[in-house]
Amino acid sequence: MLLQSQPRAAARIATDARALAQGATETFVFLLLDGFDALALAGATEPLRQANAISGRPLYGWRIVTMAGTPAVAIGGLAVLADDRFAGLGRGETLMVIGAAGEDEATRGQVFAALRREAAHGARIGAIGAGIQTLARAGLLDNETVAAHWDVAEGLAEEFPRIEVSRAAFVAGRRPTAPGGAAATDLMLHLIAERHGANLATRIADAMVWANVRGPQSRQTVSAQSRFGVRNARLVRVLAAMEANLETPLSAQEIADIAGMSPRQTERLFSRYLATTPMGFYAHLRLERARSLLMQTELSVTEVAVACGYRSLSHFAKVYRATYGHAPRRMRAVA
């Protein structure tokens, strides 16, 4: 990993800080990679446009680039034209990566080399959505805290143990990150407030009809009560505990203790509200997590099995096949 302590990096950071203090236009460069999140791009750029319109001054500029200067294709097929190919950053520019580097080794290598070069020069580099995995694989997030999407957070933490993975709505700082979608707007509103004050950020949110402005400590997901459609307080407490203990599964007695009931009463609780047993529902959660890890990370099948609480690879493969109709290795081969 290239460190930021080099003299050239320090000089650039100091120069950029002076420029910002003097009120210079701050520019964001959005590097789009195929399969990027179109909602995140719109959510990140619109607050910048609104900031300029409301203030009556060019507080922000932005450019959309791709590695080759050709259009980028978002999830769902939407093509977005690029202003230019990515040839580096100017002074005071912040790079935000949106999208994954893909499977082609040559393309990945090109993307990683470009990112490492800018990091070595002291650039502020952030990411939204799958762009976080791109920065991680380029080695630029070691010892950083990132706000990864809840669906990939555990896999990212497993694959990159030197990264602190948060399920917050966003993380600002040297490596600003947001999990994607609407959280991109929350991140940009926060960055605008940091530089130009909360009043401007609030006016932008009002103009965007953005009623629920989240801070960096806000959670990404709704409560277990809403997610699973249950209101029973005991059951909600148990479901939250199950989600938090996938790698080291709780026993039937521990689950009952969390519910504050006997094991037989807990069985009846699950049967009434979820039409299954506690351990059956628990197994479902663990297998869904395993399927997600196989699809979205580069972890081996063995590593995925362990991460989801299976100590026997053969048992994991058996129950996975029985649930999804194919072996877990098939998902790994596809991924």
Nearest to 35, CA basis, from 77, 70, 71:
77
| pLDDT over threshold 90, residue 59 | yes
CB-based burial of residue 35 (10 Å sphere; 0-12 exposed, 13-18 middle, 19+ buried)? middle
Q: Render pLDDT for 104-113 as a digit per residue (tens, 0 to 9).
A: 788 899 999 9
Q: Binning pLDDT at 50, 70 and 90, where does residue 154 land?
A: confident
CB 193 within 8 A of CB 201: yes
Report the C-alpha dihedral over residues 152, 153, 159, 165, rounded to 10 degrees: 150
C-alpha distances (whole Å) from 305 to each of 279, 308, 318 are 17, 5, 12
Q: Binning pLDDT at 50, 70 and 90, where does residue 19 land?
A: very low
Q: What pLDDT does 104 receive? A: 79
Report the C-alpha dihedral over residues 222, 178, 301, 75, rounded to 10 degrees: 90
Element (H, E) at 312: none
Q: Binning pLDDT at 50, 70 and 90, where does residue 226 land?
A: low
CB 230 within 8 A of CB 236: yes
Share of the chain above pLDDT 70, in %: 85
C-alpha distances (whole Å) from 171 to each of 31, 62, 85, 168 are 19, 20, 27, 7
Q: Render pLDDT for 243-271 as a digit per residue (tens, 0 to 9).
A: 889 999 999 999 999 999 999 999 999 99
This prediction's pTM:
0.66
Q: Binning pLDDT at 50, 70 and 90, where does residue 8 land?
A: very low
Q: How far apart are CA 188 and CA 201, in angstroms?
A: 9
Parallel, antiparallel, or unpaired for β 79-80 and 72-73? antiparallel
DSSP 3-state of 93: strand
Q: How far apart are CA 154 and CA 168, in angstroms?
A: 13
Alpha carbon 177 to its chain's center: 7
| pLDDT over threshold 70, residue 64 | yes
Q: Render pLDDT for 67-99 as a digit per residue (tens, 0 to 9).
A: 999 999 999 899 999 999 999 999 889 999 999
DSSP 3-state of 128: strand
What's the mean pLDDT when you consider all of the chain?
Answer: 86
Q: Return all residues near 151 (Cβ < 8 A) that are at least 6 apart.
A: 292, 296
| pLDDT over threshold 50, residue 17 | no
The CATH number of 7-207 is 3.40.50.880
Query: For residue 38, what are its two tokens?
Result: 């179109």
Q: Return all residues near 233 (Cβ < 8 A) that are at least 6 apart.
A: none
Q: What pLDDT does 292 receive? A: 81
DSSP 223: P
Q: What pLDDT does 169 receive? A: 87
Mean pLDDT of 272-300: 88
Q: Name the CATH architecture for the domain at 224-334.
A: Orthogonal Bundle (1.10)
Q: Binning pLDDT at 50, 70 and 90, where does residue 212 land?
A: low
Q: How far apart are CA 120 and CA 8, in angstroms?
A: 8
| pLDDT over threshold 90, residue 63 | yes
Domain boundary assignment for the chain: 7-207, 224-334
Neighbouring C-beta atoms of residue 240, cutoff 10 Å? 16
| pLDDT over threshold 90, residue 232 | no
